[in-house]
Structure 1
């Protein structure tokens, strides 16, 4: 999830653990702890694209990290904070650390919660920025913050923020199930042969959902809004995996395929190959759009070593997508 959401969640967790003991300081430390797992992004400045993607939401988003670093952070804080209870500080950091990846596990990218096991947990039920999750949570957190640390209202507001946000998260799983069934029914009605369907919410909401469908020669992408009145339609994107040729055996290429879980297409532009990660969709809802959210140019040197360079995103595409989403959410 986005940084603000993780700050709010961490602050609320800090309040649960130590709010009555140290007041708003608990929220402050919880908020800081809630952002620490995302420091893994620093790896992108020192490694190649593929390695950075492999590390993203890896070790720092695991239970192992939470167990190892919670007491370390508690030890550091008790060196200078008046409140010296090592056990309580450890609990604050542990729960702030571990709830971060649990929340991230509901997004499309997911987390390696059980690192070092090579398992990426991704429920794909919520977009990384969802105002319906964050805004009510933030409001209740602020209401709690302005209360006296021993006030019952403070505990009540913080508890309500956690209950409402968690309930919404549970609702997204139910909405995902319903939308999945809608996509399956549409595929069956249109007699489309497929091997796998992966669904996720469109950006910023859980009313409009999108599906990636795996067929023998192409991937299909379709959209479904709970306000739809017309059948779901699907747009085909040829896999073009044969474009890779012998590069399919390259170590970096295999790593990218593993990272994208096989959901990728290859396109050619001016003689160059581009790797498109389909898990995150496109920056346009128009038919035949090819501006994928995550597209990488494959640069091959004389030794057949492959480097993946992410194609910069056009901010205008993002603005157009928001307008298109608003129209599509209202139904087809």
Structure 2
């Protein structure tokens, strides 16, 4: 999830664990703990794109990391804070650290919660930024923040924020199940033979869902809004995996395929080769645009070394996507 959401969650967790004893400092340190796992993004400054993608939401988003670093952070804070109970501080940091990847596990990218096991947990029930999850949660956290430490209102507001956000998170599983059934029904009615299907919410909401459908030679992408009155339609995107040629045997290419779980297409533009990660969909709901959220140019140097360079996104793409989403959410 986005940084603001993780700060809010971490602060609320800190309040639950230690709010009665240290007041607003519990929220402060909870918020800090809730952002620490995302420090792995700095790996992109020191390594190549593929390696950075492998690292992201890996070790720092694991239970192992939480168990390892919570006591260290707890001990460190106890050294300069007036409240000296190392165990209590350690529990605060453990829960702030571990709830971060648990929440991230509900997104499309997922997390390696059980690192070092090479298994990424991704429920794909919520987009990384969802105002319906974050904003009510934030309001109740702020209401709690301005209450006195021992007042029942403080605990009530904080608990309400956690309850509402958690209930919404659980509700997204029901929405995913309903949309999944609609996609399956549409594929059956249209007599489309497929080997795999994955669904996920579209950006910033859980009313409009998209499906990636794998067939023998192509991928299909379709959208379903809970306000739709017409049948679901699917757009086709050729796999073009053969365009990789001998590059398919390159280590970086194999790693990229593993990262995207096999959901990728290859596009050739002039003499350039591009890799599209289908898991995160398109920047435009215009099927002809083929403007994928994560597109990488595949480059080969004079020594035959392969690298992936992410295609830069334009501000106008985001603006157009928001407009497209609104129109599509209200149904067709």
Same fold? TM cut 0.5: yes
TM alignment of 1:42-191, pairs within 5 A:
42-191=42-191
Find the aligned partners of 2:173 and 2:33 in 1 and give their Cα distance: 27
* CA deviation map 1:181-206 (0-9, x unaligned): 00000000000000100000000000
Match of 2:213 in 1: 213
Partner residue, 2:292:
292
2:230 is the alignment partner of 1:230:
yes
Equivalent-residue separation in structure 2 for 1:35 and 1:174 (angstroms): 29
Shift of 1:168: 0.2
Whole-angstrom CA distance in 2 between matches of 1:251 and 1:327: 42
CA distance in 2, matches of 1:187, 1:289: 23
1:45 to partner: Cα distance: 0.1
Which residue does 2:319 correspond to in 1? 319
Deviation string for 1:227-265 (max 9, x for gaps)? 000000000000000000011010000000000000000
Give the distance between the partners of 1:287 and 1:306, measured in 2 at CA: 29
1:315 is displaced (CA, Å) by 1.0
- Using the size of structure 1 for normalisation, the TM-score is 0.99
CA–CA separation in structure 1 for the residues paired with 2:59 and 2:214: 30
- Count of residue correspondences: 332
Q: Which residue of 2 aligns with 1:282?
A: 282
The match for 1:331 is: 331
Kindly state the Cα deviation for residue 18 of structure 1 after the two structures are TM-superposed.
0.4
CA offset at residue 303 of structure 1?
A: 2.5
* Structure 1 residue 314, shift from structure 2 partner: 1.1
Superposition map of 1:231-310 within 5 A: 231-310=231-310
| 1:204-223 per-position Cα deviation (integer Å, ceiling 9, x unaligned) | 00000000000000000000
Deviation at 1:305, TM superposition (A): 1.3
Which stretches of structure 1, 4 residues or longer, exceed 2 Å deviation after superposition?
A: none
The root-mean-square deviation of aligned C-alpha atoms, in Å, is: 0.5
Q: Per-residue CA shift, 1:62-97, capped at 9, x if unaligned?
A: 000000000000111011000001110000000000
Note the residue ranges of structure 2 that are not aligned, 5 or more in a row.
Answer: none
Runs of at least 5 residues in structure 1 that lack an aligned partner in the other structure: none
